[in-house]
């Protein structure tokens, strides 16, 4: 997204923790965890100097435009309507805030840990968005699976390190059972989902959807998992990597006080495409969620429910942003 010149957003540098510090289980990172994720934090922490990250990111993101530009009939074979396009290829299925389909963004979804989950048929029926099977373009792009899983594994390993230090911070203020922490919840989950994203060049699509300068390539949204690992984007013009073409580009965050701030690092420029990767680290589909009395988002989904599984909660959210289940 990008701010309009008339309403420049203040730039706020996110909290940064080095890889060597985050992997140290004896380090006290409570202050940085609070600064990043606490009541006054942006909800984001940057991890620096990660070994192997740059090459893994490069390998995967350079496959994104190749995937997006496969023949339409090939991409059709990679779609999974039964999961509401939460496995395989998805384009034009997700709805923006306006309710219109998002035609600027293509996505490829896969569970980096389980290609074919083994479970009861009833679970597949109840949680199709998480209990389906991966659909890899084995013939058209065979190298995608290895690159996807390698980067996802690295991000998940780091996410578990972050979760451990979040637990250490929380333990200073409240007691918890050994299996209740964020690290344990994510460690036992079969529900993590990777998403390779490709933003089509503006010249090839209906650029500036709804004429909203704040939603040029990615509309406002709230992730509903526990942690999201997000790579910096790669920009390309005619197949050649280029520097970020827009000085206003970057990750924009709406704070708890409704202020819009920019976290520097990168969006929209004519003729330039953008690729990135997100790993959604989430509880297992049958993990019970207990919601606090005061909620800021999605209140309408749980107003009459004291507890839901993560799978049930996710399906309710998909009802809102994707096609309803038939």
DSSP string, 209-278: GGG-GGGSSS------SSEEEEPPPEEEETTEEE--S-TT-SEEEE-TTS-EEEES-----TT-EEEEEE
Mean pLDDT of 64-69: 96
Question: What share of the chain has pLDDT > 70, as a percent?
Answer: 71
Minimum mean pLDDT range among 23-32, 138-147, 298-307: 298-307
Integer Cα distance of 319 and 151 in angstroms = 30
pLDDT mean across residues, the chain: 82
**154 - beta bridge partners?**
none
28 contacts: CB under 8 Å, gap ≥ 6: 168
**Beta-bridge mates of residue 89:** 108
C-alpha distance from residue 168 to each of 13, 46, 171 (Å) = 24, 18, 5
Ordered by start, the domain boundaries in the chain are 5-116+133-285
Kindly state the helix (H) or strand (E) to which residue 262 belongs, with its residue range.
Answer: strand 260-263
pTM: 0.85
What average pLDDT does the segment 111-120 reach?
81
Q: Which of 8-12, 306-310, 317-321 has the highest mean pLDDT?
A: 306-310
Q: What local confidence, expressed as pLDDT, does residue 265 receive?
A: 52
**Does the pLDDT value for residue 246 go beyond 80?**
no
Mean pLDDT of 48-71: 97
**Range of weakest confidence among 60-69, 241-250, 269-278:** 241-250
Q: How far apart are CA 103 and CA 205, in angstroms?
A: 7
| Tally of CB atoms within 10 A around 103 | 15
Rounded mean pLDDT, 311-318: 82
Confidence of residue 271 (pLDDT cuts 50, 70, 90): confident
Classify domain 5-116+133-285 by CATH number: 2.60.120.330
Instruction: Map residue 119 onto helix, strand or coil.
Output: coil
Better pLDDT: 55 or 307: 55
pLDDT at 294: 66
Q: 307 CB contacts (<8 Å, ≥6 apart)?
A: 288, 289, 290, 291
Which residue in 15, 194, 7, 197 sits closest to 110, CA to CA?
194
Distance CA 77, CA 24 (A): 44
The span from the CA of 37 to the CA of 167, in Å, is 12
Q: How many CB atoms lie within 10 A of CB 188?
A: 12
Q: Is there a contact between 317 and 89 (Cβ–Cβ < 8 Å)? A: no
Please count the helices (runs of H) and the strands (runs of E) in the chain: 10, 13
Q: Residue 309 pairs with which residues in a beta bridge? A: 288
Instruction: Outline where DSSP puts E strands in the chain.
Output: 15-18, 45-48, 88-91, 105-110, 193-199, 227-230, 234-237, 240-242, 251-254, 260-263, 273-281, 288-290, 307-309
Query: How far apart are alpha carbons 5 and 214 in whole angstroms?
Result: 11
Question: Are 234 and 62 contacting, i.e. CB atoms less than 8 angstroms apart?
Answer: yes
Q: Give me the half-sphere count of Cα atoms (radius 13 Å) on the Cβ side of residue 175.
A: 0
Give percent of the chain with pLDDT exceeding 90: 44
Mean pLDDT for 295-309 is 65
Please work out, in degrees rounded to the nearest 5, the angle formed at the alpha carbon of residue 325 by the alpha carbons of 323 and 326: 115
**Residue 311 has what pLDDT?**
85
**Is pLDDT above 70 for 92?**
yes
What are the pLDDT digits (tens) for 208-218? 444 554 455 45
- Find the mean pLDDT for residues 233-247: 84
Most confident of 4-8, 66-70, 84-88, 212-216: 66-70
């Amino acid at each position: 997204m990008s701010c309009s010149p008339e309403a420049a957003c203040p730039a706020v540098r996110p909290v940064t923790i080095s890889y060597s510090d985050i992997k140290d289980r004896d380090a006290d990172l409570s202050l940085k965890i609070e600064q990043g994720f606490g009541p006054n934090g942006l909800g984001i922490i940057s991890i620096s100097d990660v070994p192997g990250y740059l090459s893994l990111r490069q390998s995967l993101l350079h496959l994104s435009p190749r995937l997006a530009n496969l023949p339409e009939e090939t991409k059709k074979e990679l779609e999974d309507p039964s999961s509401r396009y939460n496995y395989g290829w998805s384009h034009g299925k997700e709805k923006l805030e306006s309710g219109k389909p998002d035609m600027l963004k293509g996505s490829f979804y896969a569970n980096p840990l389980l290609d074919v989950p083994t479970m009861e048929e009833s679970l597949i029926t109840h949680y199709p968005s998480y209990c389906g099977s991966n659909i890899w373009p084995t013939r058209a792009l065979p190298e995608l699976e290895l690159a996807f899983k390698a980067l996802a594994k690295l991000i998940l390993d780091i996410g578990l390190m972050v979760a451990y230090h979040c637990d250490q911070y929380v333990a200073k203020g409240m007691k918890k059972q050994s299996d209740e922490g964020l690290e344990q919840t994510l460690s036992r989950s079969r529900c993590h989902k990777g998403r390779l994203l490709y933003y089509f060049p503006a010249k090839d699509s209906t650029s500036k959807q709804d004429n909203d300068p704040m939603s040029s390539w990615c509309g406002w949204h709230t992730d509903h998992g526990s942690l999201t690992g997000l790579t910096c984007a790669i920009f390309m013009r005619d197949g050649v990597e280029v520097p970020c073409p827009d000085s206003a580009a970057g990750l924009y965050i709406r704070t708890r006080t409704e202020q819009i701030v920019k976290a520097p690092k990168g969006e929209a420029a004519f003729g330039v495409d953008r690729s990135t990767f997100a790993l959604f680290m989430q509880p297992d589909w049958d993990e019970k969620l207990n919601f606090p009395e005061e909620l800021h988002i999605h209140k309408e989904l749980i107003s009459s429910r004291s507890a839901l599984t993560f799978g049930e909660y996710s399906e309710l959210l998909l009802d809102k942003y994707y096609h309803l289940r038939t």
